[in-house]
């Protein structure tokens, strides 16, 4: 009875929460104007890819901490005819990048990988969204960018959450003139209800609307960006921009309890982690004590701990390193991981080491999910890395630059800005993609679309997606309940179990008694999910944010 108490305490708060339901189509995103832009595209005859383009550009205006032109990401699509694809438009290291570029004379990591012009990798978002549209969309490009252009040119009301976010980053903006000019209001804070107009960004978007990605990578935007880089000691050159190419990859495919899983392949570490952890959990009966029980959370945490140990050594850009995907996901290795878990005691992280394999075979991000009336579904996660990226707004262009260079291994064994320890496979090299945790995922039931989801949150993304997925598949929650349920995170090092507020004191005490070092956090992740069942689409936007789910 004691193990069920946490479940009984949490369920009344969630039981009344219902997803948004629609018959035809659904858009779930972080911000209402972007959601509306995508829904308008679907209502006018566009497909899910068209809507994804409109949402992506709108978020670049209305959600500047993560929505972007100056970053990169992943797009996972599964079409009604059964085809699936994964577009990798992750940033790349500039040609001038070097292995030790962020170490001082004593070999210590500097701040340069996190803030300022030198922190930026070559952006991929504009070219990624354009390729998605060219290959899989059908509406006119110009019309898909029109909402973003209007929002930047005419402005939109600042929400409470945006005002708070801008205020929280004012010290960073103060270092860079264009960021200070745009994201501070005459040197003061923006207030909820103020109208934020971004004239420079509107002009940049108008050029992309007219000329496509050619403007961003070869035209006026490219020339202005590279001139600004040269003036301020940045590394990105016109050659870097011209050379940028999106990589279309096969989605990583797996299965769990009879459901098909399509998810992100490397250079994401998320898909491999999701499939490995699901494999460890399957067959353990971990779910029997119930969602929110200490026993179930203990098993989740131990699976997380083991995967993040593997992540520290074996994951990187597959174009530069041979990733042991088969080994990490092999039945025998997963069984060995499962056997290594003590169901009653936490394993100290220093006793958990990355697996050994034969040579391999040949804080701030945002996610949105879209399903159209034809049965196509698209899940997009894209980012600037940290909140507002490197803090730099490109002079005269109005968009923020990413700080994705910090996602590389600046120094093996040293934690990055998220506290994650990384290895040689992810060392800095010119034109290389940094390792990512972004995990857009689509679940199939009987070969048909059943659930699509993703989240921001740095390394917590992988564990957030895992928990929402098992909340639906194992604990039989509706998609809204699954998204709202409190979450945990373990990343091997530091040896800490992070728990959101919302778990009962009894649960926390039981986990501590098992040996877990618990730290409480306010919030983890920002899931956008759509589930298809019985002829209805069910959408859930995370109430941890101002996200919206809308359909028709």
Helix (H, G, I), strand (E, B) or coil at 450: strand
pTM of the full structure: 0.94
Q: In the block, which residue shows the tokens 């299965």?
A: 255
Residue closest to 270 by CA, chosen among 325, 319, 335, 347: 325
What pLDDT does residue 9 have?
Answer: 43
What pLDDT does residue 469 have?
Answer: 98
Three-state SS for 80-92 is: CCCCEEEEEECCE
Which one of the listed residues 35, 62, 365, 439 is annotated catalytic? Answer: 365
List average pLDDT for each run of 10 residues in the chain, which is 552 residues long: 42 66 98 98 98 98 98 98 98 96 93 96 98 98 98 98 95 94 94 98 98 98 98 98 98 98 97 98 96 98 97 93 95 97 97 76 78 98 95 97 94 76 87 96 98 96 98 98 98 96 96 98 97 97 96 98
Longest dimension (CA), the chain: 67
What pLDDT does residue 17 have?
Answer: 81
Distances (CA, A) of 440 to 100, 207, 252, 541: 32, 30, 11, 15
What pLDDT does residue 412 have?
Answer: 77
What pLDDT does residue 55 have?
Answer: 98
Three-state SS for 295-309 is: HHHHHHHHHHHHHHH
* Catalytic residue check, 125: no
What pLDDT does residue 72 have?
Answer: 98
CATH of segment(s) 1-155+197-552? 3.60.20.40
The arrangement of strands across the sheet holding 536-541 comes to 20-22, 536-541, 528-533, 448-453, 441-445, 259-263, 252-256
What pLDDT does residue 16 have?
Answer: 53
Distances (CA, A) of 188 to 167, 182, 484: 9, 11, 35
Sign of the CA dihedral 188, 190, 192, 197? positive
Sign of the CA dihedral 290, 294, 300, 302? negative
Residues 445 and 473: their CA atoms lie apart, in Å, by 11
Residues 5 and 42: their CA atoms lie apart, in Å, by 44
Q: Is the CB of residue 443 less than 8 Å from the CB of residue 259?
A: yes
Residue closest to 226 by CA, chosen among 205, 247, 244: 244
What pLDDT does residue 360 have?
Answer: 40
What pLDDT does residue 422 have?
Answer: 79
For residue 476, how many other CB atoms are within 10 A of its CB? 11
Q: How many residues are present in the chain?
A: 552
């Amino acid at each position: 009875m004691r193990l069920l108490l946490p479940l009984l305490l949490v369920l009344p708060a969630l039981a009344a929460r219902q997803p948004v339901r629609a018959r035809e189509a659904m858009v779930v995103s972080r911000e209402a104007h972007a959601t509306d832009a995508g829904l308008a595209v679907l209502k006018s005859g566009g497909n899910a890819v068209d809507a994804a383009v409109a949402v992506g550009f709108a978020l670049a205006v209305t959600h500047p901490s993560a929505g972007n032109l100056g970053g990169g990401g992943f797009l996972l699509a599964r079409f009604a005819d059964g085809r699936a694809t994964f577009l990798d438009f992750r940033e790349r290291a500039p040609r001038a990048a070097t292995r030790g570029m962020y170490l001082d004379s004593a070999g210590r990591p500097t701040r340069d990988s996190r803030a300022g012009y030198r922190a930026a990798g070559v952006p991929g978002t504009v070219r990624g969204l354009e390729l998605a549209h060219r290959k899989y969309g059908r509406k006119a490009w110009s019309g898909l960018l029109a909402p973003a252009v209007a929002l930047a040119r005419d402005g939109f009301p600042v929400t409470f959450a945006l005002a708070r976010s801008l205020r929280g980053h004012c010290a960073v903006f103060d270092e860079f003139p264009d960021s200070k000019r745009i994201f501070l209001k005459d040197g003061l804070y923006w207030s909820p209800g103020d109208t934020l107009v971004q004239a420079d960004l509107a002009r940049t978007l108008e050029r992309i609307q007219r000329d496509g990605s050619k403007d961003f990578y070869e035209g006026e935007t490219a020339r202005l960006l590279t001139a600004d880089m040269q003036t301020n000691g940045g590394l990105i050159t016109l050659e870097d921009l011209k050379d940028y190419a999106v990589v279309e990859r096969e989605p990583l495919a797996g299965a769990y309890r009879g459901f098909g899983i399509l998810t992100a392949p490397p250079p994401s570490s998320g898909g491999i982690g999701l499939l490995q952890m699901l494999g460890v959990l399957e067959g353990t009966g971990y779910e029997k004590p119930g969602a929110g029980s200490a026993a179930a959370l203990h098993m989740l945490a131990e699976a997380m701990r083991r995967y993040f140990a593997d992540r520290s050594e074996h994951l990187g850009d597959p174009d530069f390193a041979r990733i042991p995907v088969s080994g990490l996901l092999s039945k025998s290795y997963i069984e060995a991981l499962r056997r290594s878990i003590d169901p009653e005691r936490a394993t100290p992280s220093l006793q958990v080491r990355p697996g050994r394999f034969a040579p391999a075979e040949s804080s701030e991000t945002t996610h949105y999910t879209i399903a159209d009336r034809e049965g196509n579904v698209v899940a997009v996660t894209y980012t600037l890395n940290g909140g507002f990226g490197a803090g730099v707004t490109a002079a005269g262009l109005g968009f923020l630059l990413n700080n994705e260079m910090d996602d590389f291994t600046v120094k093996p064994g040293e934690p990055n800005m998220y506290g994650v320890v990384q290895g040689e496979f992810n060392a800095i090299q010119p034109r290389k993609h940094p390792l990512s945790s972004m995990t857009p995922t689509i679940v199939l039931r009987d070969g048909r679309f059943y659930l699509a989801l993703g989240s921001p949150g740095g390394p917590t993304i992988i564990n957030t997606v895992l928990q929402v997925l098992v909340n639906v598949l194992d604990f039989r929650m509706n998609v809204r309940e699954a998204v709202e349920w409190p979450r945990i995170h373990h990343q091997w090092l530091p040896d800490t179990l992070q728990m959101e507020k919302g778990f009962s004191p009894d649960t926390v005490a039981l986990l501590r008694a098992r040996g877990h070092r618990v730290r409480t956090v306010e919030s983890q992740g920002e899931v956008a999910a759509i589930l298809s069942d019985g002829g209805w689409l069910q959408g859930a936007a995370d109430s941890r944010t101002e996200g919206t789910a809308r359909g028709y």
